[in-house]
């Protein structure tokens, strides 16, 4: 296929995408002439260019469509629903031929019959016999020149959903220029570095410059890869329109945040999950119009797609104002499908019950329709989103609607990871799958590992966690240094599997650049890529889910008992932060009230009326210093910069975060975090309560304790 | 035309007949690869091993923003692993676009030979070597076996299955 044809296909696909958006909008705003004009131009451009390239079949169809659109533009026809359906079919027809050309290089002649039917339908819609073809063609030929020119004008970076355009990307020339500039800067910096050498006085400065140039360049390249979410949203109006017809619903779709950028590869990855979610919202979420009216809502339902950035990731929400998910039905279904037992179901909170819809084999669709209920459910959505390092959550309120929230990272090329060592080699574990780190000292190593048959388990907070020894799994036993210090266990979670990966050592967390491996190494199936570490050595990136399945870890859905037990434990035992303020006394605060632990230079602490105060993030924080730690510190080493440890506590407890209600507590030393039970008030200790934490008597600040307990109840 | 010594003119009569080969060594044998197929000679490099990889994969090596898979040539020949640090060459495959590394003991210099000096593989050669070798040049010092980088591609080697049995050879 020559370049001209390729370009033509990519352009036409874009034109059709625009046409699709406009058509669905036209239904909502039938009087908008600009929309009709836009659609007309798209079809006209295709028709004009095909004349050049000699695709007769395509030209004929486009011509028929153009004629109909002409009548629409001149106001001889009004955009009825049938007319729009006809135009959508025209669009599908054009698209089919384009795909055929892309695949085979020719438009095919044998299937020509199909078109004549469609052309006849379009003519019937027009309500008149088509104008003589020759005449129309001569007109169009004259226009071809200008249209071809307008078509090549740079459109906004856009990705059509088809092959040819998937591999190409439109980039803003400004972005490209900026990239080139930065590359130039990079070369200059390199030259200077080579000339001056490591010992030169300005070396640190050069290194800094290199750092900033790289950061800028990285950002710019990422920006170039970014595609607006709008490209993905564009196809939904049509889909929702078709769906709402088949399902007998009245649905309107609304967007916000179309301009939110997302890496092109990620955009492709979330296409299917998002389509599924929208389909679900229309089919299951929105009720039939009659039901809606009975419920006091407008007959027309609304599906809202929202995209926005939030702390380094992109959040995409699909919200419907439908019936919401019935918890009772979810639970009944889960019991019926043997996913949970009846007792477990009864003990579940609303939030937990909602998580059940992500289990494989779960569908609440009363009947299998063509649209949904075919067994491909939310579990696939979750798996797909998790595959790219994202997460999915669902919120639902009976009668008010459901929100499905997907969170995906901005890019896949650079990921935060933890570098570990095992068997004398470095490996990178993606942070997204990392739950926690456990260190097992040597003296506990023997007792910590429990066995059932050949499998080894670790009891982590009364839950058994399968242990996977990375060196054994990779056949690297005995290659590493003999461990003398015990071992580290990295608790990983992927695709519902949770396991402890045992490694020799933990190195630094790093932002790693993912490099693909050759096919020969991909076949091993355990590594998702490799990366060059800061010290110049290579590290393989582990595929967390594949590692789990290789080690035989099966997905455990921790919905039932485990959580229930944990919840009970929470009610009885509150986690405490244990510290020392008065000499030799252990004091504790419920962990929920402690916001931060800060190290503050003693000289920063000011006094007013004998009370110590600290200026902390623009507010004045009163400090509690029961143990007279401050005076001790000041007396200890005069003139030096002594650091005091201050716990920043919020008096409002775990529930609220009222700014004005913060207090600082000056402590000697922070000791531990542990769960404990409050014993009750003891007269001898005044404002305090006694608690048993880690089998030792501990004082608890009563003020905080009581409120925190209330807070906990709210949460539970 | 280049001015060359008399005895050399006898050997290489016209330019199209001449091939420049980069000589490499594994064990006591010497091999040659067309210099046009070699992208870079990285020299002695410690490679990062890949656990569970087939034995013929010596490891991975970073090269200009890519991570290349390196083939251990000694393993292909069924030899013991080299005791010292291997030399790594980067080979380019113009067809498949696959770039990969080749681990050999030493890299020698560039020699120019005439195509007419090439002898086909002897019929007695065992299957693996027959597949790997591309004939040999009769040099004054001995035979120099010509290698075809196309056939050394990791993915191609995996496909043939000829080298599969040696997978557990290394650790055994």
Tens digit of pLDDT for each residue in B98-107? Answer: 789 999 998 9
Residue with tokens 């016999």: A129
Residues 401-460 on A with a CB inside 8 Å of B are: 423, 425
Residues written for chain A:
716
User: Above 90 in pLDDT, residue A344?
Assistant: no
A478 at interface of B, judged by CB pairs closer than 8 A: no
Taking contacts as CB-CB distances below 8 angstroms, the residues of chain A near B49 are: 425
Residue A662 pLDDT class (50, 70, 90 cuts): confident
Q: Do A538 and B66 touch (CB under 8 A)?
A: no
Instruction: Identify the residue with better confidence: A174 or A640.
Output: A174
Predicted pLDDT at A454: 78
Strand partners, B143: B138
Spatial separation of the C-alpha atoms in residues A185 and A200, rounded to whole Å = 20
- Between A363 and B170, name the one with better pLDDT: A363
pTM for the model stands at: 0.52
What tens digit of pLDDT does each residue of A473-523 get?
Answer: 888 876 555 556 778 889 988 766 788 998 888 888 888 888 878 878 888
Q: For A521-552, what is each residue's pLDDT tens digit?
A: 888 888 888 888 877 788 999 888 788 888 88
The nearest CA of chain A is from the CA of B169 a distance in Å of: 14
Higher pLDDT, A641 or A227: A227
With CB atoms and an 8 Å threshold, state whether A538 touches B157. Answer: no
| Token pair 């067309």: residue | B34
Of the candidates A433, A413, A429, the one whose C-alpha atom is nearest the C-alpha of residue A421 is A429
Name the closest residue on chain B to residue A472, using Cα atoms. B51
- From the list A516, A518, A526, which residue is nearest B52 (CB)? A526
Closest listed residue to residue A65, CA positions, set A113, A54, A52, A48: A48
A520 contacts in chain B (CB < 8 Å):
53-54, 57, 69, 154-155, 157-158
3-state secondary structure of A260: coil
Sign of the dihedral through C-alpha A622, A627, A632, A633: negative
Please give the interface size between A and B, counted as residue pairs whose CB atoms are below 8 Å apart: 66
Q: Which residues of B touch A519 (CB under 8 A)?
A: 154-155, 158
Q: Which two tokens stand for residue A459?
A: 């009891």
Domain borders along chain B are 6-158
Host H or E run for residue A561: helix A561-572
pLDDT at A144: 38
Contact B157 A474 (CB under 8 A): no
Is A221 near chain B, with CB under 8 Å?
no
Cα-based distances in Å from A418 to A463, A515, A524, B59: 24, 16, 22, 22
What are the angstrom distances between the C-alpha of A307 and each of A274, A388, A394? Answer: 12, 17, 15
Contact A519 B155 (CB under 8 A): yes
- Is residue A4 pLDDT above 80, yes or no? no
Check residue A545 and give its pLDDT.
79
Asked if A425 lies within 8 A of B51 by C-beta distance, the reply is yes
Mutate to test the interface with A, among B53, B57, B60, B67 (most CBs of A within 10 A): B67
Check whether domain B6-158 has CATH 2.102.10.10, yes or no: no
List of chain B residues whose C-beta atoms are within 8 Å of the C-beta of residue A527: 50
Mean pLDDT over A343-368 rounds to: 70
- pLDDT value at position B14? 58
Are B51 and A423 in contact (CB < 8 Å)?
yes
Which residues in chain A are closer than 8 Å to B60, comparing Cβ atoms? 517, 521, 530, 538, 540
Work out the minimum CA distance from A652 to partner chain B, whole angstroms: 52
The stretch A77-90 carries a mean pLDDT of 80
**8 Å CB contact of B48 and A527:** no
Cβ-defined contact of B158 to A520 (cutoff 8 Å): yes
Facing residue for B53 by CB, picked from A519, A521, A537: A521
Does residue A666 contact residue A581 with C-beta atoms inside 8 Å?
yes
Look at A137 and B56; give whichever has higher pLDDT: B56
| Three-state SS annotation for A84-120 | HHHHHHHHHHHHHHHHHHHHHCCCCCCCHHHHHHHHH
Interface test with B, best of A503, A520, A523 (most B CBs within 10 A): A520
Which residue matches tokens 């200790």? A685
pLDDT in tens, A90-99: 888 888 888 8
pLDDT tops 60 at residue A159: no
Q: B66 contacts in A (CB within 8 Å)?
A: 515
- pLDDT confidence of residue B4: 46
Q: What tokens appear for A635 in the block? A: 């007396």
Rg (CA), chain B: 17
Tens of pLDDT along A50-71? 777 777 777 778 888 888 888 8
The mean pLDDT of A122-127, rounded to a whole number, is 73
Which residue in chain A has the smallest CA separation from B66? Answer: A515
Which long-range CB contacts under 8 A does A712-716 form with residues at least 24 apart? A712/A570, A712/A571, A712/A574, A712/A590, A712/A592, A712/A654, A713/A571, A714/A654, A714/A655, A715/A654, A715/A655, A716/A567, A716/A570, A716/A571
* Interface contact flag, A475 B50, Cβ < 8 Å: no
Q: What's the pLDDT score for residue A673?
A: 73
**Interface mutation target, options B42, B45, B50, B167, chain A, most CBs of A under 10 Å:** B50
Three-state DSSP string of A621-639:
EEEECCCCHHHHHHHHCCC
The whole-angstrom separation of Cα B73 and Cα B86 is: 10
A685 vs A459, residue with greater confidence: A459
What digits encode the pLDDT tens for the residues A550-561? 888 776 544 434
């Amino acid at each position: 296929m020559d370049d001209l044809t390729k370009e033509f296909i990519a352009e036409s696909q874009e034109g059709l995408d625009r046409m699709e958006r406009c058509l669905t909008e036209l239904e909502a705003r039938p009087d908008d002439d600009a929309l009709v004009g836009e659609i007309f131009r798209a079809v006209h451009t295709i028709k004009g260019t095909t004349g050049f390239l000699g695709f007769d079949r395509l030209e004929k169809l486009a011509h028929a469509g153009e004629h109909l659109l002409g009548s629409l533009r001149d106001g001889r026809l009004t955009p009825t629903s049938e007319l729009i359906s006809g135009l959508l079919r025209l669009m599908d027809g054009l698209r089919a031929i384009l795909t055929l050309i892309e695949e085979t290089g020719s438009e095919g002649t044998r299937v020509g019959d199909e078109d004549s039917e469609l052309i006849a339908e379009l003519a019937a819609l027009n309500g008149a016999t088509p104008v003589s073809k020759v005449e129309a063609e001569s007109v169009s030929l004259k226009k071809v020149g200008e249209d071809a020119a307008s078509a090549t004008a740079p459109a906004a970076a856009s990705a059509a959903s088809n092959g040819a355009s998937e591999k190409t990307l439109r980039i803003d020339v400004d972005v490209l220029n900026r990239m080139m500039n930065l590359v130039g800067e990079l070369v200059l910096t390199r030259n200077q570095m080579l000339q001056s050498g490591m010992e030169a006085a300005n070396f640190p400065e050069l290194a800094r410059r290199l750092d900033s140039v790289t950061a800028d360049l990285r950002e710019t390249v990422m920006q170039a890869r970014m595609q607006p979410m709008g490209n993905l949203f564009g196809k939904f109006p049509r889909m929702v329109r078709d769906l709402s017809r088949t399902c007998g619903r009245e649905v309107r779709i609304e967007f916000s945040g179309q301009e939110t950028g997302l890496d092109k590869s990620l955009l492709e990855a979330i296409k299917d999950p998002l389509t599924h979610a929208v389909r679900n919202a229309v089919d299951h979420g929105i009720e039939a119009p009659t039901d809606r009216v009975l419920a006091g809502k407008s007959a027309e339902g609304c599906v809202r797609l929202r995209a926005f950035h939030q702390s380094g990731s992109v959040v995409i929400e699909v919200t419907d104002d439908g019936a919401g998910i019935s918890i009772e039905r979810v639970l009944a279904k889960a019991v019926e499908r043997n996913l949970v037992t009846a007792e477990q179901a009864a003990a579940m909170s609303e939030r937990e019950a909602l998580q059940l819809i992500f289990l494989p084999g779960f569908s609440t669709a009363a009947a299998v329709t063509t649209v949904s209920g075919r067994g491909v459910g939310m579990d696939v959505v979750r798996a797909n989103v998790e595959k790219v390092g994202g997460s999915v959550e669902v919120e639902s309120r009976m009668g008010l609607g459901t929100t499905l929230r997907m969170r995906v990272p901005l890019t896949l090329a650079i990921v935060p990871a933890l570098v570990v060592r095992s068997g004398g080699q470095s490996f990178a574990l993606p942070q997204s799958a990392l739950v926690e780190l456990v260190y097992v000292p040597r003296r506990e190593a023997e007792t910590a590992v429990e066995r059932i048959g050949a499998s080894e388990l670790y009891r982590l907070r009364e839950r058994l966690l399968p242990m996977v020894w990375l060196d054994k799994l990779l056949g690297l036993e005995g290659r590493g240094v003999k461990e003398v210090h015990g071992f580290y266990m990295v608790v990983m979670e992927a695709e519902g599997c949770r396991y402890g990966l045992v490694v020799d050592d933990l190195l630094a967390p790093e932002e790693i650049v993912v490099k693909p491996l050759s096919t020969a190494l991909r076949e091993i199936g355990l590594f998702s890529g490799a990366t060059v570490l800061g010290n110049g050595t290579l590290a393989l990136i582990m595929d967390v889910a594949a590692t789990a399945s290789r080690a035989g870890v099966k997905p455990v859905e921790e919905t039932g008992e485990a959580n229930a037990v944990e919840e009970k434990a929470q009610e009885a035992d509150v986690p405490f932060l244990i510290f020392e303020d008065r000499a030799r006394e252990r004091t504790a605060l419920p962990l929920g009230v402690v916001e931060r632990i800060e190290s503050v230079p003693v000289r920063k602490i000011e006094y007013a009326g004998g009370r110590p105060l600290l200026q902390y993030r623009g507010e004045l924080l009163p400090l509690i210093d029961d143990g007279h730690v401050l005076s001790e510190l000041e007396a200890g080493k005069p003139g030096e910069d002594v650091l005091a440890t201050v716990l920043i506590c919020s008096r409002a407890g775990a529930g609220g975060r009222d700014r004005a209600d913060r207090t600082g507590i000056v402590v000697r030393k922070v000791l531990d975090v542990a769960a404990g039970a409050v014993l009750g008030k003891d007269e001898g200790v005044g404002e305090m309560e006694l608690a048993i934490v880690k089998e030792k008597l501990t004082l608890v600040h009563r003020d905080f304790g009581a409120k925190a307990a209330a807070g906990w109840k709210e949460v539970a | 035309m280049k001015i060359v010594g008399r005895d050399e003119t006898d050997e290489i009569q016209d330019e199209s007949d001449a091939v420049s080969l980069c000589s490499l060594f594994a064990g006591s044998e010497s091999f040659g690869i067309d210099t046009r197929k070699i992208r870079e000679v990285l020299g002695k490099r410690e490679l990062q091993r890949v656990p569970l990889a087939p034995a013929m994969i010596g490891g991975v090596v970073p090269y200009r923003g890519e991570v290349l898979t390196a083939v251990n040539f000694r393993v292909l020949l069924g030899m013991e692993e080299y005791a010292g640090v291997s030399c790594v060459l980067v080979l380019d495959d113009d067809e498949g676009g696959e770039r990969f590394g080749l681990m050999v003991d030493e890299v020698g210099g560039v020699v120019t030979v005439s195509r007419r000096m090439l002898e086909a593989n002897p019929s007695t050669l065992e299957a693996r070597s027959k597949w790997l070798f591309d004939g040999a040049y009769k040099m004054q010092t001995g035979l120099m076996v010509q290698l075809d980088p196309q056939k050394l591609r990791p993915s191609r080697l995996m496909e043939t299955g000829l080298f599969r049995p040696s997978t557990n050879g290394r650790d055994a």
